[in-house]
């Protein structure tokens, strides 16, 4: 789950054992190796986007031994048939990160009944793991939040449906006269071709 600005955060998957509160059961928690934490501790590592002037999203992992690895992604920019910029990502493997200092991971995990906000602080020296501690842990019922989210998605769906209907009508309005124009041009070319053929020996 994302909390910070796009320009300076990265996503981190963590396989290292986390110091969870004693009252938390494993059934409540996600599979941590698949869970995305957010951090701004690697804010200097983003790649500049030549089209937006922002940074592209970097991803890292902390393995079971506490070592940090960065996923190396080559981003190739291309243009689609519609004239839109398309970003293709090519996986180039991983590289070990010799980070010194703290790495603060924040995350939000949601179940059918509760939201869990969490914050952990890791300490590293030249890439070597030193310690990890729990900075923040909050559990809250999410019935109201889920209801608001449902209503928001319904409004988006209605807006998208209206937009699709408008595009369909607009496309028909545009295509009809152009179809007529293309037909007239085709007819004119056919007539000109016949006259040319009739006049030549």
- Residue 46's closest CA among 3, 96, 87, 9? 9
Question: What number is the average pLDDT over the span 139-152?
Answer: 87
Whether residue 82 is found in the same domain as residue 123: yes
Query: 98-112, 162-176, 179-193: lowest mean pLDDT where?
Result: 179-193
Average pLDDT over residues 14-19: 95
Token pair in block for residue 83: 């004239």
Q: Is 195 a member of any domain? A: yes
Indicate whether 130 and 42 sit together in one domain.
Answer: yes
Q: Give percent above pLDDT 70 in the chain.
A: 72
| In the predicted structure, residue 6 carries a pLDDT above the cut 60 | no
In the chain, how many domains are there? Answer: 2
> Are residues 70 and 11 in contact, defined by beta-carbon separation less than 8 angstroms?
no
Instruction: Identify whether residues 35 and 116 lie together within a single domain.
Output: yes
Q: Are 106 and 165 found together in one domain? A: no
Domain range for 117 is 10-141
Q: Are residues 195 and 111 in the same domain?
A: no
Residues 117 and 184 in one domain: no
CB-based contacts of 34, cutoff 8 Å, min separation 6: 13
Mark whether 135 and 63 lie in a shared domain: yes
> Residue 114: helix, strand or coil by DSSP?
strand
């Amino acid at each position: 789950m994302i909390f910070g600005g796009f320009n300076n955060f990265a996503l981190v998957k963590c396989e290292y054992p986390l110091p969870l509160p004693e009252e938390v059961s494993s059934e409540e928690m996600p599979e941590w190796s698949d869970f995305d934490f957010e951090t701004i501790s690697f804010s200097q590592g983003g790649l500049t986007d030549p089209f937006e002037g922002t940074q592209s999203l970097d991803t890292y992992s902390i393995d079971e031994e506490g070592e940090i690895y960065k996923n190396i992604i080559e981003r190739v920019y291309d243009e689609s048939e519609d004239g839109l910029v398309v970003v293709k990502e090519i996986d180039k493997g991983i590289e070990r990160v010799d980070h010194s200092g703290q790495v603060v991971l924040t995350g939000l995990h949601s179940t059918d009944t509760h939201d869990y906000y969490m914050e952990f602080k890791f300490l590293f020296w030249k890439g070597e793991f030193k310690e990890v501690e729990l900075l923040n842990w909050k559990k809250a019922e999410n019935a109201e939040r889920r209801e608001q989210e449902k209503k928001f998605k319904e409004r988006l769906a209605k807006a998208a449906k209206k937009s699709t209907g408008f595009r369909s009508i607009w496309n028909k309005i545009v295509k009809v006269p152009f179809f007529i124009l293309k037909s007239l041009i085709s007819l004119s070319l056919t007539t000109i071709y016949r006259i040319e053929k009739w006049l030549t020996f």
